[in-house]
């Protein structure tokens, strides 16, 4: 075996360059979303429920009252505005990035677009549902990434769930449990950002824990009550596992999967669009 110092100089250079590139790639999301990570660490509350369910809430008012928040938002916006999306050349980096971008910009919107100096009570207060004369927060191209304008819908449905990702084999129905629309009915945010090294684990963990949380899934007799995500995005779950119940059984803990298998009908839990602030979660009181 050649000693390390006996490798030809060009080979050493190539090996070093490859290792450096891999190291750089592994930290891409950490570096790009460093200021968002600070906001989460400072103002997100997580609580584990019985049976390992999970709820979380972002304390928007505390973030507004924190003198550091304005600069964190400005720095995070600047990083994303200059970000080169061609760096997203593998599945894990890309899925992690667009999840983080969606979740960050949702929080940024709520913190920067106040109504008469106050936080909105629901993201629909921006328009689209109760005010059809204005485009919804999900449709507006208000967010800059790499010099281009994006909407939240483009990040979620155009990127994460879009044709390009599908063709590459990157499309994941689990992202319905990792994107967060700043509402009580959404699957929870996590205190950690998504990275290439944790995205698969956290997509699975978020999905599994949602199935342990009554707000998203519960069984009463022979009736399976599900978050309306399963009504709106049924095709994604069917495409991936063959049916809604099969998708749930693929990721649920065994006791939950057994209860789901025994049900004969499905009903949907009304989605709670109230802002995902701590006061709106009885579990956090």
Please compute the mean of the pLDDT values over residues 147-176 and round it to a whole number.
Answer: 98
Phi-psi bin for 104: left (phi > 0), alpha (psi -120 to 50), beta?
alpha
Q: DSSP secondary-structure letter at 155? A: I
Q: CA-to-CA distance for 164 and 170, rounded, in angstroms?
A: 8
Q: CA-to-CA distance for 77 and 83, rounded, in angstroms?
A: 10
Contact status, residue 276 vs residue 266, Cβ threshold 8 Å: no
Q: CA-to-CA distance for 235 and 173, rounded, in angstroms?
A: 9
Q: DSSP secondary-structure letter at 149? A: E
Pull the structure tokens for residue 225. Answer: 């009550």
Q: CA-to-CA distance for 184 and 19, rounded, in angstroms?
A: 43
Give me the count of residues in the chain.
Answer: 285
Q: Residues 33, 34, 39, 44: what is their CA dihedral angle, to the nearest 10 degrees?
A: 70
* Residue for token pair 């507006």: 140
Pull the structure tokens for residue 157. Answer: 């449905």
* Residue for token pair 């998203």: 216
Strands 143-145 and 54-58: unpaired
Residue 193: phi and psi, rounded to 5, are -75, 165
pLDDT of residue 69: 98
pLDDT tens for 6-56 read: 445 444 443 433 433 444 466 999 999 999 999 999 999 999 999 999 999
pLDDT tens for 169-189 read: 999 999 999 999 999 999 999
Supply the pTM of this predicted model: 0.91
Pull the structure tokens for residue 181. Answer: 């629309």
pLDDT of residue 131: 74
pLDDT tens for 206-263 read: 999 999 999 999 999 999 999 999 999 999 999 999 999 999 999 999 999 999 999 9
Pull the structure tokens for residue 130. Answer: 């109760």
Position 127 confidence tier, pLDDT thresholds 50, 70, 90: very high
pLDDT tens for 70-119 read: 999 999 999 999 999 999 999 999 999 999 999 999 999 999 999 999 99
pLDDT tens for 203-221 read: 999 999 999 999 999 999 9
Q: Annotate 6-38 with DSSP letters as a single string.
A: GS-HHHHHHHHHHHHHHHHHHTHHHHHTHHHHH
Q: Is the pLDDT of residue 193 over 80?
A: yes
pLDDT of residue 25: 60
- E strand or H helix at 262, and its extent? none
Domain boundaries, the chain: 26-213+273-284
């Amino acid at each position: 075996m050649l000693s390390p110092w006996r490798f030809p100089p060009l080979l050493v250079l190539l090996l070093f360059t490859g290792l450096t590139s891999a190291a750089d790639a592994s930290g891409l999301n950490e570096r790009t979303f460093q200021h968002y990570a600070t906001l989460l660490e400072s103002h997100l509350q997580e609580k584990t429920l019985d049976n390992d369910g999970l709820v979380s809430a972002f304390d928007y008012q505390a973030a507004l009252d924190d003198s550091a928040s304005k600069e964190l938002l400005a720095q995070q916006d600047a990083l994303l505005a200059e970000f080169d999306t061609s760096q997203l050349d593998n599945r894990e980096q890309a899925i992690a990035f667009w999840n983080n971008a969606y979740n960050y910009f949702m929080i940024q919107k709520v913190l920067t677009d106040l109504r008469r100096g106050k936080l909105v009570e629901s993201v629909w207060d921006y328009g689209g549902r109760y005010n059809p004369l204005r485009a919804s927060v999900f449709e507006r191209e208000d967010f800059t990434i790499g010099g281009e304008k994006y909407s939240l819908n483009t990040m979620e449905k155009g990127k994460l769930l879009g044709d390009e990702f599908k063709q590459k084999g990157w499309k994941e129905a689990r992202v319905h449990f990792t994107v967060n629309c700043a509402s009580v009915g959404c699957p929870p945010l996590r205190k950690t950002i998504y990275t290439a090294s944790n995205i698969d684990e956290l997509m699975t963990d978020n999905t599994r824990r949602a199935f342990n949380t009554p707000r998203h899934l519960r069984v009463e007799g022979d009736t399976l009550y599900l978050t309306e995500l399963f009504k709106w995005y049924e095709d994604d779950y069917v495409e991936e596992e063959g049916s809604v119940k099969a998708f749930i059984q693929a990721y649920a803990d065994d006791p939950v999967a057994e209860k789901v298998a025994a049900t004969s009908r499905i009903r949907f839990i009304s989605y709670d669009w109230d802002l995902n602030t701590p006061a709106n979660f009885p579990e956090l009181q």
